[in-house]
Amino acid sequence: MDITLIHPSSPFLINPMVFPPLGILYLAAALKAAGFTVQCLDLALGHTLADIKSDVVGISFTSAQKKEAFRTAKLLKYKTLIAGGAHPTHLPNECLAFFDYVICGEADFQLPLLIMNLKRSKEQKRILSVLEPSYIDPIPFPDRDALPIHSYHYLINNELSTSIMTSRSCPFGCKYCAKISNTYRAQSAHRTVAEIRHINENYGFKAFMIFDDTFAMNKERLKEIIRLLKGNDFIFRCFGRANLLTEEICMLLKEMNVVEIGIGIESGSDEILKINMKGTSREQNFQAVKNLREVGIRTKAFIIIGLPGETINTLEETRNWLLTAMPDDVDFSVFQPMPGSDIYNHPDKYNITIDYDLVGQWYKGTPGSYQSSCSTKELTGEQIITYRDELEAQFKKKELLR
């Protein structure tokens, strides 16, 4: 093998075997298109370091996975190691202590060039910033043959599904968010539908989790996807943004056979939404849930407890919003300042205190094991976790606790 790509384990998750790691599958496809032989390992699947078949190893990881990634890198210090993904992009110097090369940004085109020119010398440590592809249609489909794709398990309406991405990044400026790229780019409708058909024909999936940060960004693209999918019985789940989920867009999503949409509600308080530059309001969030309910699409609301400005009063506003809006499902996470976000970079501006020893903790995982890496002016980390657990107990249906 020219290179082995590794997805670290995520022991904090209730079930780490839900979706395949599309990041390394995109890279595998790009490398194979350039003529390299590639091995992909997902340590959550039971793959081990003993399975590695290359002297060059790439590890792609998020901040939540950094401890596992660094531990793995220490065990593989005799290899040539390359780091990539969200955490290396935002904190490359930290990663350079464990890796020979750190790639910042989207590595579809940079990684093949690096392997092509690689000099296996431990004295060549360096950080590589990449020029992101502005047009993403030419990027190959993720190499779903590189991992046992049917070993992952996520049901949509009791139908086994798999994940796809039809765009990259997000054009909005939420201050708690850390993006690999600040430039939103969407695939064409034709490329998107071609990938859906490819997955169906080669792997048998009829249900798809669309993992775009926000799927229905462009009404005309959405209409063209619907036109190209006409006559198929595929079903979809995706993420949406409240201020974009108009009655018309919701009707189009229903026509596409989208059965559930996850919305980043974040808070029931307009003050919290304003402080964190969410760009939506309590009323817009309520209206989005209402619009989806009227066309028969389920809503899953994502709530973050402990954002800058959080108080007992704003938490009660969130509780009241949930009682009024009544989304079909709710996920409650603890705010974690992500490296690369404006809040992480400027905590004083947001009047929060960060425990940097805890930064990079996961934001969603096993109930009862949450830790908070920050506190607001009025709430301690312990209070934030207590409220998260209390709200989950009130609003999360036991059969949906996953």
Same domain for 164 and 69: no
Domain of 376, CATH number, reads 3.20.20.70
Specify if 147 maps to a domain: no
Determine contact, residues 304/176, Cβ cutoff 8 Å.
yes
Query: How buried is 266 (Cβ within 10 angstroms: 0-12 exposed, 13-18 middle, 19+ buried)?
Result: buried
Angstrom distance (rounded) from CA 8 to CA 29: 19
Q: Which domain holds residue 58?
A: 3-129
Angstrom distance (rounded) from CA 221 to CA 219: 6
DSSP conformational letter for 396: S
Same domain for 71 and 184: no
Greatest Cα pair distance, the chain, in angstroms, is 62
Count how many domains the chain has: 2
CA nearest neighbour of 361 among 306, 300, 301, 313:
306
- Residue whose structure tokens are 């169906």: 200
What pLDDT is stored for residue 53 in this prediction? 97
3-state DSSP call for residue 300? strand
Specify if 354 maps to a domain: yes
What pLDDT is stored for residue 398 in this prediction? 57
Within 325-386, strands assigned E span: 329-334, 353-354, 374-375
Q: What mean pLDDT comes out for the span 367-375?
A: 83
- The pLDDT of residue 402 is above 50: no
Residues of the chain with pLDDT > 90: what percent?
83
Same domain for 88 and 166: no
DSSP secondary structure letters along 28-90: HHHHHHTT--EEEEEGGGT--GGG---SEEEEE--GGGHHHHHHHHHHTTTSEEEEESHHHHH
Same domain for 357 and 289: yes
DSSP conformational letter for 158: T
Same domain for 113 and 68: yes
What pLDDT is stored for residue 132 in this prediction? 80
- The pLDDT of residue 123 is above 60: no
30 CB contacts (<8 Å, ≥6 apart)? Answer: 108, 109, 111, 112, 139, 140
Angstrom distance (rounded) from CA 316 to CA 175: 22
DSSP secondary structure letters along 164-206: E--EES-S---TT---S-S--EE--HHHHHHHHHHHHHHH---
Q: Which helix (H) or strand (E) holds 152?
A: none
Q: What is the pLDDT of residues 148-197, one digit of tens each?
A: 999 999 999 999 999 999 999 999 999 999 988 889 999 999 999 999 99
Within 245-366, strands assigned E span: 258-266, 298-305, 329-334, 353-354
- The pLDDT of residue 130 is above 90: no
What pLDDT is stored for residue 366 in this prediction? 74
Specify if 138 maps to a domain: no
Q: What mean pLDDT comes out for the span 118-144?
A: 81
175 CB contacts (<8 Å, ≥6 apart)? Answer: 275, 276, 277, 308, 341, 342, 343, 350
Determine contact, residues 24/5, Cβ cutoff 8 Å.
yes
What pLDDT is stored for residue 401 in this prediction? 43
Residue 13 pLDDT class (50, 70, 90 cuts): confident
Task: Give the burial string for 27-46 (b: 16+ CB within 10 Å, else e).
Answer: bbbbbbeeebebbbbbbbbe
Angstrom distance (rounded) from CA 249 to CA 10: 35
Angstrom distance (rounded) from CA 191 to CA 196: 9
What pLDDT is stored for residue 360 in this prediction? 65
Same domain for 241 and 341: yes
- The pLDDT of residue 361 is above 90: no
Determine contact, residues 258/238, Cβ cutoff 8 Å.
yes
Q: What is the pLDDT of residues 277-287, one digit of tens each?
A: 999 999 999 99
Same domain for 13 and 73: yes
What pLDDT is stored for residue 124 in this prediction? 65
Name the pTM for this structure.
0.93
Same domain for 166 and 51: no
Specify if 139 maps to a domain: no
What pLDDT is stored for residue 365 in this prediction? 73
> Residue 56 forms beta bridges with which residues?
80
Specify if 143 maps to a domain: no
Angstrom distance (rounded) from CA 19 to CA 162: 7
Query: How buried is 273 (Cβ within 10 angstroms: 0-12 exposed, 13-18 middle, 19+ buried)?
Result: buried
- The pLDDT of residue 261 is above 50: yes
What are the structure tokens assigned to 282, written together? 């309590």
Q: What is the overall mean pLDDT for the chain?
A: 93
Specify if 134 maps to a domain: no
Label residue 244 left, alpha or beta by phi (over 0 means left) and psi (-120 to 50 means alpha): alpha
What pLDDT is stored for residue 71 in this prediction? 96
- The pLDDT of residue 399 is above 60: no
Task: Return the percent helix, strand and coil in the chain, to nearest 5.
Answer: 35, 20, 45
Same domain for 258 and 123: no
Domain of 124, CATH number, reads 3.40.50.280
Q: What mean pLDDT comes out for the span 313-342?
A: 95
Specify if 213 maps to a domain: yes
Same domain for 310 and 177: yes
Q: What is the pLDDT of residues 60-102, one digit of tens each?
A: 999 989 999 999 999 999 999 999 999 999 999 999 999 999 9
Same domain for 184 and 120: no
Specify if 135 maps to a domain: no
- The pLDDT of residue 231 is above 80: yes
Same domain for 122 and 160: no
Of the chain, the end-to-end C-alpha distance in Å amounts to 37
Residue 362 pLDDT class (50, 70, 90 cuts): low
What pLDDT is stored for residue 131 in this prediction? 77
